[in-house]
């Protein structure tokens, strides 16, 4: 039984059967107890009628001799006394009381009461009725005449179980209850079938959707018709399908970008070499320098791809230690002085001393190199570049602002995507592969920080990165 439908239906059937069995058992027990209590009430009611009659008869005869050894007279006495009749309290058999014509004859008491009734004298010696049982708990009432006890009347204990009449009544009620429970079970089975189908049908549809996704078709979507747990599961499956479809498109686009980026330097290298081989270009210093530039570009691209692959796999090595970020940034900025001056880019730096972070010095140098490389390539000649760092609540914020050219909000939202170039000016002609900022984002996130792009007050681009600081800055 592997289907959810069968499991739900079986669970409901078993639960209903157990519940019905418990109801039947508890009802039978309670009915038996109620019947015993009812019999006790009957006994008390019968004694309440019989005791005055016996007291009157004793007072008339001054003893119990008229009942000793005469079971027939005892039975007549019970028949008339317990049915509300009236008899002559003398030696002759009692006669019926005259009743009005509009009264029905009284009902006879149950046989189990008559057969268990007994009479004892003042010394509790048996006189008439049911024989006493040894060690039996009996129900009895005293018979008093003029303030003195002259005898006792009572009932012997019930035999094991209920009397025959009571057993027949309980059995009939149990059969009626069982029939009702069978009808309830049939109704529960019908409702259980509908409920199981209600839950299993959307799950079967989700299973088909998931199997289709496993097969590689990411265009399929589950039908969501409810807002419960199954509906949220269907929405999650649809979101997963969209993510898989998006990742597949990104992977295809990335592979195409990688192929394009690798093809260009390889084609240039191949063309240069073929030109030298054909004698169309001399193998002089300029030609070798051009070949070296293409080889360097190809090497940088391969290294960037390897860095991204290691970062995605979580295998990028980070050796965390206390790093003075102020000194590290100044060192990297000093390395770009000549390039920035060649393009007449004015640089201002506002870095407090002693900005300490817990990080990998090598990866943080790579981060700053990529950011400064990006600025040195794309900031317009004669522009400006500002670096400023602050610390607040043990959170370090470093901003790189440039004077342009600026980017649109759409362009900035994709700036850290792999192989993304914002506009025509940011092309391979400037030597970029489109991977530098993606590497920067991975490095910052590995340091429990974040990085994003926004509009700079200088009119160009601001790169803002934040990460935890482990020490205050000394101005």
Alpha-carbon gap, residue 356 to 352, rounded angstroms: 10
Q: Please give the CATH number for the structural domain made up of 321-468.
A: 3.30.565.10
More reliable by pLDDT, 49 or 453 = 453
Give the confidence band of 90 by pLDDT, cuts at 50, 70, 90. very low
Give the pLDDT of residue 449. 94
Give the pLDDT of residue 81. 66
Give the pLDDT of residue 393. 86
Give the confidence band of 163 by pLDDT, cuts at 50, 70, 90. low
Global confidence as pTM: 0.51
Residue 96 scores a pLDDT above 60: no
Best CA proximity match to 51, nearest among 142, 125, 139: 142
Instruction: Report the topology of domain 229-312.
Output: Helix Hairpins (1.10.287)
Q: What is the pLDDT of residues 97-108, one digit of tens each?
A: 443 343 434 444
Residues of the chain with CATH 1.10.287.130: 229-312
Q: What is the pLDDT of residues 310-351, one digit of tens each?
A: 777 776 778 899 999 999 999 999 999 988 999 999 999 999
Length of the chain: 475
The count of other CB atoms within 10 Å of the CB of residue 388 is 14
Give the pLDDT of residue 79. 74
Q: What are the residues whose beta carbons fall under 8 Å from the beta carbon of 375, sequence distance 6 or more?
A: 345, 385, 400, 402
DSSP result, 27-67: HHHHHHHHHHHHHHHHHHHHHHHHHHHHHHHHHHHSSSTTT
Residue 85 scores a pLDDT above 50: no
Q: Give the relative orientation of helices 71-82 and 4-61 as an angle to the nearest 10 degrees.
A: 110
More reliable by pLDDT, 379 or 106 = 379
Q: What is the pLDDT of residues 248-274, one digit of tens each?
A: 887 777 777 777 777 877 887 888 888
Residues of the chain with CATH 3.30.565.10: 321-468
Q: Which of 202-211, 248-257, 385-394, 407-416 has the lowest mean pLDDT?
A: 248-257
Give the pLDDT of residue 10. 79
What proportion of the chain, given as a percentage, has pLDDT over 90? 17
């Amino acid at each position: 039984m592997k289907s959810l439908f069968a499991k739900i239906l079986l669970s409901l059937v078993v639960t209903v059967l157990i519940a019905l069995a418990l109801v039947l058992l508890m009802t039978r027990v309670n009915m038996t107890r109620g019947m015993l209590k009812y019999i006790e009430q009957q006994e008390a009611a019968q004694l309440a009628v019989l005791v005055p009659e016996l007291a009157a008869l004793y007072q008339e005869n001054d003893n119990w001799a008229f009942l000793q050894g005469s079971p027939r007279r005892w039975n007549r006495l019970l028949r008339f006394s317990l049915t509300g009749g009236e008899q002559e309290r003398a030696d002759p058999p009692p006669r019926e009381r005259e009743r009005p014509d509009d009264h029905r004859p009284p009902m006879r008491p149950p046989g189990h009461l008559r057969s268990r009734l007994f009479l004892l004298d003042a010394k509790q010696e048996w006189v008439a009725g049911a024989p006493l049982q040894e060690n039996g708990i009996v129900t009895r009432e005293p018979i008093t005449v003029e303030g003195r006890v002259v005898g006792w009347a009572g009932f012997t204990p019930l035999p094991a179980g209920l009397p025959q009449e009571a057993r027949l009544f309980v059995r009939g009620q149990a059969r009626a209850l069982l029939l009702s429970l069978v009808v309830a079970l049939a109704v529960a089975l019908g409702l259980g079938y509908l409920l199981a189908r209600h839950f299993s049908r959307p799950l079967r549809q989700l299973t088909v959707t998931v199997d289709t996704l496993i097969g590689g078709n990411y265009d399929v979507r589950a039908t969501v018709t409810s807002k419960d747990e199954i509906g949220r599961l269907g929405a999650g499956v649809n979101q997963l399908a969209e993510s898989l479809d998006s990742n597949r498109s990104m992977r295809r686009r990335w592979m195409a970008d990688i192929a394009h980026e690798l093809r260009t330097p390889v084609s240039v290298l191949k063309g240069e070499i073929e030109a030298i081989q054909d004698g169309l270009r001399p193998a002089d210093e300029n030609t070798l320098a051009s070949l070296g530039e293409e080889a360097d570009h190809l090497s940088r691209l391969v290294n960037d791809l390897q860095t991204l692959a290691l970062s995605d796999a979580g295998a990028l090595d980070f050796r965390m230690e206390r790093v003075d970020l102020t000194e590290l940034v100044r060192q990297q900025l000093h390395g770009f002085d000549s390039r920035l001056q060649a393009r007449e880019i004015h640089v201002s730096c506002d870095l407090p001393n002693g900005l300490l972070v817990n990080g990998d010095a090598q990866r943080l140098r790579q981060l700053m190199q990529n950011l400064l490389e990006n600025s040195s390539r794309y900031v317009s000649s004669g522009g400006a570049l500002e670096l400023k760092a602050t610390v607040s609540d043990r959170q370090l914020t470093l901003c790189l602002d440039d004077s342009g050219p600026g980017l649109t909000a759409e362009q900035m939202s994709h700036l850290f995507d792999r192989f993304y170039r914002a506009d025509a000016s940011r092309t391979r002609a400037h030597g970029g592969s489109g991977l530098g900022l993606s590497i920067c984002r991975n490095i910052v996130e590995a340091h429990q920080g974040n990085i994003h792009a926004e509009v700079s007050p200088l009119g160009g681009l601001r790169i803002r990165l934040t990460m935890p600081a482990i020490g205050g800055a000394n101005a």
